[in-house]
Amino acid sequence: MKYFQEEVHGCDQSALPHRHLAARRVGHMRAPRGDLSPKITTGYVGMLWCLRGVYQDETEEEGTYTVRPGEFGVIFPGKTLTMRALEDGTEVRYLIFDGESAVQECLSAGLWEGVFRDSAPPFDVLDQIARRLRSSKPQDLSLAAGSVRDLLLVSADHARQAAKDKLIHQARRLMHTRYGEEGFGIPRVQETLGISRTLLNVRFKAETDVSPHAYLLNLRVREACGLLAGTERTVADIAQQCGFADPVYFSQLIRKRTGCSPRAYRKRSD
């Protein structure tokens, strides 16, 4: 296969009032092996289902997300990435949406940034969103946002059901939704799930290749770096928001992970 095909359904919503959640585009793409776009920075939440071949997002911030048939990926705003097909004939369907509550809607449903298993993608809901976007009527666009919420809930339920280890799936969900809470840590995960530290470590590492502590720390650092690069909040505020009680430790950790201080990292990202 040496050609590229893409079918896109969307509309110009710039004249509409500001929305907390808005569907922007639904697409169906078939592509040969290779890069699918120049490097871009996302200003939206993207969901992508792989039907054939292998699709990959290579991000500057977090490495790669590779999506295969039977899986879907979620990407959040503020990521600099290159989209790529790893095989000829790669075929995907995707949804793009945004708004102030877009990320929180994902987390509340039970989805975070990453790759999930799904043997029964909710393409009927995706088609419904596409039809409403084609209409461009304000009431249909409001209904499309409601359909996005429906799709998130269905996809999250499918991902939970398809997870190899449902308890570890729940542990990861707790981390992604509560990492910024004061006093939250691995003991709180153990208490919530009713599992010993040893068993949690063994099962978590079998599923993710890292320990629960490393996973949570990586998540906090990743979110903090995103806030440093994308906001003007103070270093102390960002440390607190990402679950670091000690701003001095936070600054030392950022320097260790990135090679520069939080303020220097912010300047480097401008």
The confidence score (pLDDT) of residue 15 equals: 45
Determine the Cα–Cα distance for residues 71 and 44; give it in Å rounded to an integer: 20
CA nearest 193: which of 163, 173, 217, 179?
173
The confidence score (pLDDT) of residue 180 equals: 95
The answer to whether 255 touches 261, Cβ cutoff 8 Å, is yes
Instruction: Please give the domain boundaries of the chain with CATH numbers for all domains.
Output: 5-162 (2.60.120.280), 166-269 (1.10.10.60)
CA nearest 66: which of 75, 97, 139?
75
The answer to whether 59 touches 65, Cβ cutoff 8 Å, is yes
Print pLDDT tens along the chain (270 aa).
455 677 777 766 554 555 789 999 999 999 999 999 888 888 999 999 999 999 999 987 777 899 999 999 999 998 889 999 999 999 999 999 999 999 999 999 999 999 999 989 999 999 999 999 988 788 898 999 999 999 999 999 999 999 999 999 999 999 999 999 989 999 999 999 999 999 999 999 999 999 999 999 999 999 999 899 888 999 999 999 999 999 999 999 999 999 999 999 988 876
Q: Is the pTM of this model over 0.85?
A: yes
The confidence score (pLDDT) of residue 4 equals: 64
DSSP for 12-70 reads: --TTSPP-SSEEEEEEEEEE-SEE-SS-EE--SEEEEEEEES-EEEEETTTEEEEE-TT
Read off the tokens for 6: 């893409």
Read off the tokens for 226: 């995103």
> Phi-psi category of 221—alpha, beta or left, where left has phi over 0 and alpha has psi -120 to 50?
alpha
CA nearest 44: which of 19, 71, 8, 16?
19
The confidence score (pLDDT) of residue 79 equals: 86
> Phi-psi category of 140—alpha, beta or left, where left has phi over 0 and alpha has psi -120 to 50?
alpha
Instruction: State the pairing for strand pair 5-10/22-31.
Output: antiparallel
Compute how many other C-beta atoms are within 10 angstroms of the C-beta atom of residue 47.
23
DSSP for 187-229 reads: HHHHHHHT--HHHHHHHHHHHHSS-HHHHHHHHHHHHHHHHHH
The confidence score (pLDDT) of residue 135 equals: 86
The confidence score (pLDDT) of residue 201 equals: 97
Determine the Cα–Cα distance for residues 159 and 172; give it in Å rounded to an integer: 12
The confidence score (pLDDT) of residue 12 equals: 61
